[in-house]
Copies of this chain bind each other. A is one copy, B any other.
């Protein structure tokens, strides 16, 4: 039976020592996030995830969701109690505004809880996850009346939310969407069409489900410029806000998927369902994009969560499983064999995951703090810089953390040999569940194109320049720090690769856009490697300081050694990424489509 322990020490070290969350205390909500409050919130979140959500994970995978002939969907046994514990603890509104019932705490703290939930039970965590996404859209684009009608009940968990974008013939290319909205004459619209892959589209966890739906108003322009966003509650509301009759939306079927079996992935049929416009007509895609940064960050976090839980269980197995002897002589001569954690190839695999997890967590928290600045600061320059960071780093966090998160789950499963392939041990589930995060919320190839085609060139490359400058400045300021020496030289080398790749794209992609497309995925990973290398340098600085102060020396030594593994073993991959990018599109595009 797999288990999960939330990485509390790691999170507090990052928030307090590496990023100094107290430095943000002029932002709204941060003043309330005193060290005591942060520790309490993180500790309580850990407890919920370890004791309530994680124990439901494996059974949820086995049982899955069931759609009944009348269209009702039931979630696995225990999910309702797990969801209620989550909602009852006030977690849904942790960083939502107090005026709608939220706690107004930093989004960075919410990101921490998202990681814990994703590691403990990804399938269950998606129900509140989608709700947070829907709330974000309503918060930014909804009318005050809409906010008052929906947000308090969503924040207290009585209702959940969904996002309805995909249709059978369109996923990435939403310009093709066909779901239509016809004005009813009373300000509402009648929506008709079929949406697919709707996570949490129908279930038994909440009293109502608030669907956010992209549709085309009758007569609107074709393509992406004719798409509007609507709010469509499953149960219509009476004028006093109490539940009324059933709306014309129903779950037609649920998908049989590779993983996240505990989450109902629904085909949703809209048959003249009543909906209300959210934001301006024909500006639905813009409304969606506003919330996509947070949603994509959340999916990147899912990759980290699965990597962490898979790692923990692999470590436990590697300590426990006796097989073979250490190359340097028996480590446990009193036992029939040594625990496999003595073997360097096992260590290589575990260290690789460990070195990723810590840097990825840092990248998430750094970016989440920037999100807080972008949304809460009253300094326009600070807001702009933070927004630049968010825009640039979001596709990297989504794409790289989910690609590596999946690969790490596979690597962790490999430790178990044949036992890893047997469902009973739970490692297969981590692999199958982690796989979805590379696909949804914009498949990772789309993230790469978003980075190279939109975020990188935007505003003359301002965001990228700022990132490069920050890393250079950090390296300069710490050039004489002995503890950082092992980190700064490899970081500078890899930063050079990123600069060369960026230059190459600037010089070669304008004239031939395929050069950008052909290098996009490698560029995204190159960027992720360097960003995590920078995270390690910052972690090392904080760890060295703690060690110098005589605090948790053994733990800080382990942290520094993990960082050295990263810069010695992981970071050199930037050379290969650069080589691929600068090979350009020739060989990529040379074979005619009919010769494949």
Q: Interface residues, chain A, CB within 8 Å of chain B? A: 166, 169-173, 175-176, 196-197, 255-259, 315, 318-319, 322-324, 327-328, 336-337, 339, 341-351, 354, 406, 410, 413-414, 417-418, 420-424, 428, 431-432, 435-436, 438-440, 443-445, 448-449, 513-514, 516-518, 520-521, 554-555, 558, 561-562, 564-565, 568-569, 572-573, 575-576, 579-580, 583, 585-593, 595-596
Contact = CB atoms under 8 A, between A and B. Distances in A.
Contacts of A349: 445
A343 B589 CA distance: 9
B414 A439 contact: yes
Contacts of A421: 257-259, 435-436, 439
Given A328-B514, A564-B587, A345 B424 contact: no
Contacts of A173: 322-324, 337
Chain B CB count within 10 A is highest, among A315, A561, A564, A575, for: A561
Contacts of A588: 344, 347-348, 351, 565, 569
A258 B418 contact: no
Contacts of A514: 327-328, 344
B576 A414 contact: no
A587 B336 CA distance: 28
Nearest to A336: B176
A440 B418 contact: yes
B569 A590 contact: no
B327 A517 contact: yes
Contacts of A322: 169, 173, 176
A257 B423 contact: yes
A518 B572 contact: no
B591 A580 contact: no
B341 A593 contact: yes
A568 B562 CA distance: 32
Identical subunits present:
2
Given A558-B592, A573-B576, 17 more contacts: A166-B418, A176-B336, A256-B423, A257-B421, A327-B513, A327-B517, A343-B445, A347-B589, A354-B591, A414-B438, A561-B587, A561-B590, A564-B586, A568-B583, A568-B587, A572-B580, A575-B575
A521 B348 CA distance: 9
A349 B347 CA distance: 30
A417 B439 contact: yes
Contacts of A554: 592, 595
Contacts of A438: 414
B170 A323 contact: yes
A583 B558 contact: no
A285 B592 CA distance: 51
Contact of A590 (B256, B518, B564): B564
A423 B435 CA distance: 13
A255 B588 CA distance: 42
Nearest to A196: B418
Given A258-B432, A576-B576, A596 B350 contact: yes
Which 4 residue pairs are nearest across A and B when measured between Cβ atoms?
A344-B517, A561-B590, A327-B513, A572-B579
A462 B35 CA distance: 63
A439 B431 CA distance: 14
A342 B418 CA distance: 40
B587 A569 contact: yes
A396 B587 CA distance: 27
A575 B574 CA distance: 10
Contacts of A339: 593
B172 A417 contact: yes
A554 B591 CA distance: 9
A431 to B, nearest CB: 7
Contacts of A593: 319, 339, 341-342
Candidate in A196, A197, A421, A555 with the most chain B CB atoms within 10 angstroms: A421
Contacts of A172: 323-324, 417
Contacts of A328: 513-514
A343 B517 contact: yes
